[in-house]
């Protein structure tokens, strides 16, 4: 962890709120279990801290993307059930077994790679409409006789349009999933991730996979976010200066002062995950005062117009909210022209990461 006195910015991660979000999602599931997806370093928040907090909240099943992530998580949670989305790649079967990881078999090639360990638990991914990973309906039919010899622990698929609850593809996919899984003998079935949970019981099956919603991103866009905000990103003011027309601000001279203006330079930039696309469009907060980003965001610095902020709130070292109570992750993502997933997973490593809990 970076020394807070030395860091230009600080990221506060509320593990108590993370656990609360797990409970909120669990309450949506009258009969299904809830797993936590902690890939990509728990969506940028820190798997070493997030995974134990989720386990303490009642989670016993976790999903990661890669063997490396699974191996790391196994050291953190020795007793957890851990699935690996990327499955078994050539030469990795023994390491998966050594770390007690369950691969999700995504193709006929991966089924062949796991053939020698068919008695060990594995998941199976069925492609119901994403055209990324998983067996197509034709491949599923071809593989059914071979799979009868496997210990298929979990059969799963992934919804393409779950965030749009009225999208017809949701109905198509759940129907195809039911059809395909009928030929596969498996202990558990899983279709819904974060947004799919809110499509109702027909989509929940035995196990749902909560990902980005755990970390505060809205799983039901266009509706009130039921998830609580988990992170707060604040940057320090490095310098204050007054500019006037025709002075410009930042690279490319993309912002020009039209009147006497006070500019604060913040110790954060796109190398820290504050995206360059927020140049001249992002909004930050000093207390409850809304402050626009002006000029281009550079690698280490961001400039904001603080003309309307009271003088007593402006000084070197003062903290400015880039993500916080007034500007949640989804709002920042909208300003940046992206999604909350990218905001979270882009969070950098130069600022102080401060973990708090309900007890704290």
Residues annotated as part of the active site: 39, 251
DSSP state letters, 185-234: --SEEE---TGGGGG-GGGT-SEEEE-GGGGT--SSTTS---SPP-EEEE
Residues 29, 35: Cα–Cα separation, whole Å:
12
- Entry field: residues in the chain: 360
List the structure tokens of 63. Answer: 């999903």
DSSP state letters, 287-307: TTEEEEB-S---SS-EEEE-T
Q: Are 353 and 13 in contact (CB under 8 A)?
A: yes
* CA 123 to mean position of chain CA atoms: 22
DSSP type of residue 228:
P
Q: In a 3-state reduction of DSSP, which class is residue 313?
A: helix
The residue written with tokens 């749902």 in the block is: 208
List the structure tokens of 142. Answer: 């071809």
Residue 36 phi, psi dihedral angles, 5° rounding: -110, 135
Q: Are 298 and 269 in contact (CB under 8 A)?
A: yes
> Is-cis flag, bond preceding 126, omega within 30?
no
List the structure tokens of 111. Answer: 């089924």
Q: In a 3-state reduction of DSSP, which class is residue 157?
A: coil
- Which uninterrupted H or E stretch holds 262? strand 261-266
Residues 272, 303: Cα–Cα separation, whole Å:
15
Helical axes 47-56 vs 15-26, angle rounded to 10°:
50
Burial profile 269-292: b = 16 or more Cβ within 10 angstroms, e = fewer: bbebbbbeebbbebbbbbeeeebe
């Amino acid at each position: 962890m970076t020394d807070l006195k030395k860091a230009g910015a600080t990221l506060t991660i509320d593990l108590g709120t993370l656990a609360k979000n797990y409970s909120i999602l669990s309450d949506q599931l009258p009969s299904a279990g809830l797993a936590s997806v902690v890939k990509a370093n728990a969506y940028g928040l820190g798997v070493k801290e997030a995974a134990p907090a989720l386990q303490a909240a009642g989670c016993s099943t976790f999903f990661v993307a890669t063997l490396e992530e699974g191996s790391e998580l196994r050291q953190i949670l020795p007793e957890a059930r851990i699935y690996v989305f990327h499955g078994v790649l050539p030469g990795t079967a023994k390491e998966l077994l050594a770390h007690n990881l369950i691969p999700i078999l995504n193709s006929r090639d991966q089924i062949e790679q796991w053939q020698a360990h068919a008695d060990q638990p594995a998941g199976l991914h069925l492609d119901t409409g994403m055209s990324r990973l998983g067996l197509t309906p034709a491949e599923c039919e071809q593989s059914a006789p071979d799979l009868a010899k496997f210990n298929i622990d979990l059969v799963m698929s992934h919804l393409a349009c779950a965030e749009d609850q009225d999208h017809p593809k949701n109905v198509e996919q759940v129907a195809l999933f039911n059809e395909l899984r009928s030929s596969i003998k498996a202990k558990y079935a899983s279709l819904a991730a974060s947004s799919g949970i809110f499509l109702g019981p027909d989509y929940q099956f035995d196990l749902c996979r909560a990902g980005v919603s755990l970390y505060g991103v809205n799983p039901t866009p266009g509706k009130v976010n039921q998830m609580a905000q988990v992170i707060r990103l604040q940057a320090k003011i490095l310098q204050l200066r007054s500019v006037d027309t025709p002075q410009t601000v930042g690279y490319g001279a993309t912002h020009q002062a039209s009147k006497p203006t006070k500019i604060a330079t913040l110790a954060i930039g796109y190398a820290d995950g504050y995206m360059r696309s927020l140049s001249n469009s992002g909004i930050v907060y000093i207390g409850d005062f809304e402050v626009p980003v002006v000029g281009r965001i550079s690698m280490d610095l961001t400039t904001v117009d603080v003309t309307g902020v009271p003088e007593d709130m402006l000084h070197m070292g003062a903290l400015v909210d880039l993500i916080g109570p007034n500007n949640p992750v989804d709002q920042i993502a909208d300003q940046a022209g992206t999604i909350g997933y990218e905001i979270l997973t882009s969070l950098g490593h130069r600022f102080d990461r401060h973990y708090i809990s309900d007890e704290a």
